[in-house]
Amino acid sequence: MEEKKNLNQLMDELSSVRKDIKSLQEQEKVLKLRQNDLDSEIIYKMEEQGLDQIASDVCTISKKIDVVPTVEDWDVLHKHIIDTGRFELLQKRMSATSFREALQLDGSVPGVKSTELTKINYRSK
Protein backbone atom coordinates (compact mmCIF):
# COMPACT_ATOMS: atom_id res chain seq x y z
CA MET A 1 0.00 0.00 0.00
CA GLU A 2 1.31 3.46 -0.95
CA GLU A 3 2.28 5.69 1.96
CA LYS A 4 0.46 9.03 2.14
CA LYS A 5 2.84 11.96 1.78
CA ASN A 6 2.81 14.79 4.28
CA LEU A 7 2.72 18.44 3.21
CA ASN A 8 6.51 18.87 3.42
CA GLN A 9 7.06 15.87 1.14
CA LEU A 10 4.46 17.16 -1.31
CA MET A 11 6.07 20.62 -1.29
CA ASP A 12 9.52 19.09 -1.90
CA GLU A 13 8.16 17.05 -4.79
CA LEU A 14 6.37 20.09 -6.25
CA SER A 15 9.59 22.09 -6.03
CA SER A 16 11.49 19.34 -7.84
CA VAL A 17 8.87 19.07 -10.58
CA ARG A 18 8.84 22.86 -11.07
CA LYS A 19 12.65 22.87 -11.41
CA ASP A 20 12.42 20.07 -13.97
CA ILE A 21 9.77 22.00 -15.93
CA LYS A 22 11.89 25.17 -15.86
CA SER A 23 14.90 23.24 -17.13
CA LEU A 24 12.85 21.72 -19.95
CA GLN A 25 11.42 25.14 -20.85
CA GLU A 26 14.94 26.57 -21.07
CA GLN A 27 15.96 23.65 -23.28
CA GLU A 28 12.87 24.20 -25.43
CA LYS A 29 13.70 27.90 -25.81
CA VAL A 30 17.23 27.06 -27.03
CA LEU A 31 15.90 24.39 -29.41
CA LYS A 32 13.23 26.73 -30.81
CA LEU A 33 15.85 29.40 -31.49
CA ARG A 34 17.95 26.82 -33.32
CA GLN A 35 14.87 25.63 -35.24
CA ASN A 36 14.10 29.21 -36.30
CA ASP A 37 17.70 29.69 -37.43
CA LEU A 38 17.56 26.47 -39.46
CA ASP A 39 14.16 27.42 -40.95
CA SER A 40 15.55 30.79 -42.03
CA GLU A 41 18.69 29.27 -43.50
CA ILE A 42 16.71 26.65 -45.43
CA ILE A 43 14.26 29.27 -46.77
CA TYR A 44 17.17 31.49 -47.84
CA LYS A 45 18.90 28.64 -49.67
CA MET A 46 15.64 27.48 -51.28
CA GLU A 47 14.89 31.01 -52.54
CA GLU A 48 18.48 31.39 -53.69
CA GLN A 49 18.09 28.21 -55.78
CA GLY A 50 14.51 28.97 -56.91
CA LEU A 51 13.03 25.95 -55.11
CA ASP A 52 9.57 25.69 -53.56
CA GLN A 53 9.91 22.11 -52.30
CA ILE A 54 12.82 19.87 -51.30
CA ALA A 55 13.08 16.32 -49.97
CA SER A 56 15.65 14.03 -48.37
CA ASP A 57 15.58 10.59 -46.81
CA VAL A 58 14.27 12.07 -43.54
CA CYS A 59 11.82 14.78 -44.55
CA THR A 60 10.09 16.88 -47.20
CA ILE A 61 10.01 20.65 -46.89
CA SER A 62 7.88 23.05 -48.88
CA LYS A 63 7.66 26.82 -48.60
CA LYS A 64 4.35 28.20 -47.44
CA ILE A 65 3.44 31.87 -47.28
CA ASP A 66 0.85 32.92 -44.71
CA VAL A 67 -0.76 36.33 -44.55
CA VAL A 68 -1.00 37.53 -40.94
CA PRO A 69 -2.26 40.83 -39.52
CA THR A 70 -0.15 43.55 -37.96
CA VAL A 71 -2.41 46.24 -36.52
CA GLU A 72 -0.97 49.71 -37.11
CA ASP A 73 -3.87 51.74 -35.67
CA TRP A 74 -6.20 50.05 -33.19
CA ASP A 75 -8.61 53.01 -33.13
CA VAL A 76 -9.14 52.83 -36.90
CA LEU A 77 -9.54 49.04 -36.72
CA HIS A 78 -12.07 49.21 -33.87
CA LYS A 79 -14.11 51.85 -35.75
CA HIS A 80 -14.09 49.64 -38.87
CA ILE A 81 -15.25 46.62 -36.84
CA ILE A 82 -18.06 48.59 -35.22
CA ASP A 83 -19.12 50.21 -38.52
CA THR A 84 -19.15 46.92 -40.44
CA GLY A 85 -20.09 44.50 -37.66
CA ARG A 86 -17.04 42.36 -38.56
CA PHE A 87 -16.41 41.25 -34.96
CA GLU A 88 -14.98 37.94 -36.25
CA LEU A 89 -11.76 39.89 -36.92
CA LEU A 90 -11.09 39.77 -33.18
CA GLN A 91 -10.36 36.71 -31.06
CA LYS A 92 -13.05 35.91 -28.55
CA ARG A 93 -11.10 36.12 -25.33
CA MET A 94 -11.42 38.58 -22.50
CA SER A 95 -8.59 40.12 -20.56
CA ALA A 96 -8.82 38.71 -17.02
CA THR A 97 -7.03 41.75 -15.59
CA SER A 98 -9.41 44.23 -17.23
CA PHE A 99 -12.39 42.06 -16.21
CA ARG A 100 -11.30 42.12 -12.54
CA GLU A 101 -10.85 45.91 -12.74
CA ALA A 102 -14.34 46.29 -14.27
CA LEU A 103 -15.80 44.16 -11.47
CA GLN A 104 -14.21 46.41 -8.86
CA LEU A 105 -15.46 49.57 -10.58
CA ASP A 106 -18.88 48.48 -11.84
CA GLY A 107 -19.70 45.34 -9.87
CA SER A 108 -20.46 43.28 -13.00
CA VAL A 109 -19.96 43.02 -16.73
CA PRO A 110 -23.09 42.25 -18.80
CA GLY A 111 -23.02 38.83 -20.46
CA VAL A 112 -20.11 37.55 -18.38
CA LYS A 113 -20.11 35.41 -15.26
CA SER A 114 -17.26 35.18 -12.77
CA THR A 115 -15.57 31.83 -12.30
CA GLU A 116 -13.18 31.30 -9.41
CA LEU A 117 -10.09 29.18 -9.98
CA THR A 118 -8.10 28.04 -6.96
CA LYS A 119 -4.38 27.86 -7.64
CA ILE A 120 -1.20 27.52 -5.66
CA ASN A 121 1.04 30.57 -5.38
CA TYR A 122 4.54 29.05 -5.38
CA ARG A 123 7.74 30.88 -4.44
CA SER A 124 11.09 29.18 -4.27
CA LYS A 125 13.61 30.11 -1.58
Please write the tens of the pLDDT for every residue from 14-50.
999 999 999 999 999 999 999 999 999 999 999 999 9
Mean pLDDT of 95-123: 90
Same domain for 101 and 84: yes
In sequence order, the β-bridge partners of residue 55 are 60
Cα pseudo-dihedral 22, 25, 29, 32, rounded to 10: 170
Domain range for residue 23?
Answer: 1-64
Q: Which residues of 30-50 are buried (b: 16+ CB within 10 A; e: fewer)?
A: eeeeeeeeeeeeeeeebeeee
Same domain for 54 and 85: no
Q: Residue 51 falls within a domain, yes or no?
A: yes
pTM over 0.85: no
Same domain for 53 and 17: yes
Q: How many domains does the chain have?
A: 2
Q: Residue 122 falls within a domain, yes or no?
A: no
CA 49 to CA 37: how far, in whole Å? Answer: 18
Same domain for 53 and 92: no
